[in-house]
Structure 1
Amino acid sequence: MAGLFISFEGIDGSGKSTQAKQLARALEQAGHEVVLTREPGGSQGAEEIRSLVLEGDPDRWSAETELLLFTAARRDHLERLIHPALAADKIVICDRFADSTRIYQGTRSGDLRNMVDQLHDLVIGREPDLTFLIDMDPDTGLSRAKGRGGTEERFEDFGADLQHKMRAGFLELAQQFSDRIRVIDGTRDIDTVAADVLRIAREAVGVAKSDA
């Protein structure tokens, strides 16, 4: 499949959404066709599932039920937006993808990581070409996330302990998938972080074009 698939990951409040938008804008200004999307969401069906999993009480769903809901949303997202965009040789930038499910659902309640990976292999079968992990102190990130307001705070409402656990999980994941996950220090100012992200992304775009 042509195109380039880039994802952004990190704990809540890490600044990954801001950096995804910054990168999309910079690549568009450089003349690339870019599709900026998010998970859960990105397609009509997936957006409907988004409200189910991100709103309401923390105990609304078990981790197992969340896994099924997120996977269903991701499959619809792939079919209706990501795969067609990549086939059209576009750059897809996604705010979260399967790595978030590996961490949030895979470790939140016991050890569901094997189930996450098995379901991913059966139903999704696709990894990003490049992933930026925006690393941030969990307490700072949680304070930022709670300060945004809004209704999508279900995971933030689990508290700081979950955020610390998630950060550790993401950093372990970066070691496991070191060929595609690049850890970026998110504690610096937005423009400095964006410059690092853009430099790495340009290298990936160059490789993708040379392989096409």
Structure 2
Amino acid sequence: MFKAFQALVVLALSSAGIASAAPDIVLNYGTIEDTWAAEISPDGSRLALGCSPTGVKAICIHDLSSPGDPQIILPTEGTRITDLFWASDKYLIYRINLFPLVKRGRNASQERVDRLVSYRVEDGNFAFLLSDVRGLLDATRIASLLQDDPDHILMSLVYYDNDGRTTGSHINTAGQLTYAPYRVDLSTGKSKELSNTALPHRGGPPVLLVRRFSRSGVHAATSSQ
């Protein structure tokens, strides 16, 4: 377990550009049991660990400048935490699975729904991302972390547009496959669909321009940058 954790931390520190700090962090946190992920915040001030203090997957956020008890994010009843990463120094994003009953006519079955949740480390506030877009089985696609804007990210949806009615990734629907980019507020989870959007690499310049055609409502890639 220690060697696996050491590899996770060294990889996370290398990505953050502070690999020289790995020995001390591994020494201080390497004995934590049941660690399943490790991510260093972009400024190197916090370590987010996938941990299991109650026997289920959770997240422990350690302040590296002031060691002490971590902030702990526990899954709510009926959900499962499966991934974590930093959107900025202010926000951690984690993926959850939910398992609601979905009705199909007279029948209902349990389906897996994937969502992203933002967590603001300074006060523990959290928000479901794309919370104002309903009926989606998977709403976890990130187009860009917007490194120059720590309070927002770009997310994208691929949905079916049926006779002008946007239905999302609903079960038992048909229509024209459509791409839609959204600017999402990490503090509220609310989104704004964008008409003309330059989609950048996660940490680089725009690579694709997406336009929304007003009459048809269709989004299309019209040029590269």
Q: TM-score, normalised by structure 2?
A: 0.24
Structure number with higher strand proportion: 2
Larger RCO (alpha carbons 8 Å, 6+ apart) = 1
Structure number with higher helix proportion: 1
